[in-house]
Structure 1
Amino acid sequence: MKYTRPQEALLKNRLGDPVHFINLLAGPRQVGKTTIIRDIVSAKPTQGYYISVDDELPVGFDPSATISPPQKKDRGWLAFHWQEARNRTAAWLKTAHSGDIFVFAIDEIQKIEDWSDIVKGLWDADRASGVPMHVVLLGSAPLLMQKGLSESLAGRYETLPVSHWGFAEMQQAFDFSLEQYIYFGGYPGSAWLIKDETRWRRYVRDSLIQPNIEKDILQMVRIKNPMLLKQLFELGCHYSGQELSLTKIIASIIEAKHTETLADYLHLLTETKLLAGLHKYAGQEVRKRNSVPKLHVFNTALMSALQDYSFAEAQADRSYWGRLVESSIGAHLLNTADEDTKLYYWREGNQEVDFVLAKGKKLAAIEVKSAPKPVVSAGLNVFAEKYPHATKILVGAGGVPLAEFLSQPADDWLD
């Protein structure tokens, strides 16, 4: 039985409402955005039109048509297909029944120059003339999309985030064990390759990491030093779960004069859901921003694919496995926290807490233990003394089982 992500049901519910907003599916590469919209459109082909900036021709387009779409993927190309979608909507209306919908979906929209201005004009024209056509935009570079959305489409869209796959999903869809999820991460496209680790590692590097860096960042953002960006990403994957100052990063990978450049690159990697730099939790916002970042991958597949450890070797090395476990928790929290929930770490002297969740006045301190026997966490107690209203959560032996923690979204642990 085919597995469908929860976001598909949510999008279907939104499309069941009258046309009010553009629906935006935004998230990293290879997490199922295209599958979600293709499932919806292919279920009733006469009620949908799907195009992709990466494809030569849209699905269902007649190549023998008198008028062909422009070859260049620009304003004219998008306007052509938008009009085609309008024409199909008009034809569909003649036979439509109550409750039926028509969906026009555009994949990889961010690759069209000035896409948001073009969409704004076409969308506003449809609203003025009452065209009952739902529009769904898909993009794999959230930062680049957000710029256009905030500048041109404010008030015209609703976002539906599509994050990396979690443990419960990989278990249900691919029968992953907890250990397999910790090591191989949550990329559905690579799941069938895990029995051949060489092929799996090559796939993650060539089909996931390289396109994220080369297409989603380097081709669409002006980067002064592409090699520095790549080295920062690779170093972050090697040091996931560890504090590393930007000054030390510079010393480790390249001679450079300005930490601001690395900070900008880390921001890009965070917005493309590859690598985050968590700040130290403190009462004052300035102290948080100025703290040494703790690097964390959004998907442990990124970490494992760039390391020399095999699955068996990683499990045998308790120190390294502990870093993988902590990174899987960090990735889970990063991917499931809502936009109002912030994720930090905490350290004071020799005492530390792996993660701190903060949302309004709610606060939760989370310590991860991968050892098979219960271990007392002094850091949690010190943190609780400093912030008495915080919830203390120990993940691992003697606390919340790892599988249970990975099966509930971040915000559940704030209640």
Structure 2
Amino acid sequence: MGALDHGRTTSGRPSVVLVVLAALVLVLSSCGGDAETDAGRDPLLWPYPADSIWNHPRGDAARLVPFALDPRASTLSAEEDVIIAEPDAEGRDVVSTTAGWQPGASRCNEATGEVLVEDLPIPEDWYTDPGYRGKTPNQAAAIVMPDMTLVETQPLHVCEDGTAVSQEAQPAWQGSSLLTGATAEEPGSGAHGGSGMTAFGGTIRVGEWVPGGEIPHAVKMTVDATTLSSFAGGFRWPATNADLYADDPVRGYQGSVPAARMGSLLTLPPWFQMDKIETEPARILAEALMEHGAYVVDDTGWSTVGLSVEWGPNGRVTDEFEQEWGFPMTGHIGNVGGEQLQFLEDLKLMYSVMHVVDDNGPDAVGGAGDPMAPFAPPLAGA
């Protein structure tokens, strides 16, 4: 009361200086795609509350159980999650396809014409077919609705003629909020069928895995399901299920570490020596694994380790990775050379000392102890 209003002249109109500053802020805020600005964290780029399961750091006293990974067919593969985060795009229907995961079938050519999900905001000029990796990728998809909730479906393809097709869109996968979801009490479900976990949370986004970048959240990993344990149904919190074939004696979960099940949170142990990592992209990943960890969300179907990376109208991480680092993200350690070989050797070193955070749960997200990294900044408008 009685203090001068430094934002106004004596006539009551805003000062010229403040008008110029306001205009500058407006211009700056419209540029770039940074996940964090002075206004707060953009939920389309860095979603969920700070204490969500995806943003919660690992505890420094977490109970860890060794679970070494040793992929033989490919050292690293890409689990491409389709992220469509353009809630203002014009809506279009997704129609059903019967192709599923049959190698000889075309998901686009097997469309039935029956509407699976109505009126989803999918940009007109973007599609995934042709161009996806492998014959039958999982392609779990998350589409952001105007109210900032998610519709998830699998496997989503947007055909060359603009038709969007998919096969499953279970009711349990729908409605999680980017603003309030993925909490310890309600971790949410989604289109990763092997675990019932989301296609959105934990996906490495465009702009994160680049020189000078960081992955400031938990990530998602897919592994050969035969290395997982069938103990207690083959899954654990926050997964809601395991693969239907988990107890199959040939194809099912045959691992000997009961803690390592679908939904497990994997991490690097505190004694891991970061200075052993030679390449920057591996170091960025190692820091994410040490500070937040990786949730196991699906079966790779072969002997490899996959990382969930974004593919959508905002870009494709596999393309960005090769452009920024000068070599492909994926490959087998025996078939490459140069800096890619060193990168994959770094990953192999990390795999050899992976551990399960065995006390990760709703009462101790990330395990016991003090957080190993700062919590995420507030969401914009929070």
TM-score normalized by structure 1? 0.28
| Higher RCO by CA contacts (8 Å cutoff, separation 6 or greater) | 2
TM-score normalized by structure 2? 0.29
Query: Which one has a bigger Cα radius of gyration?
Result: 1
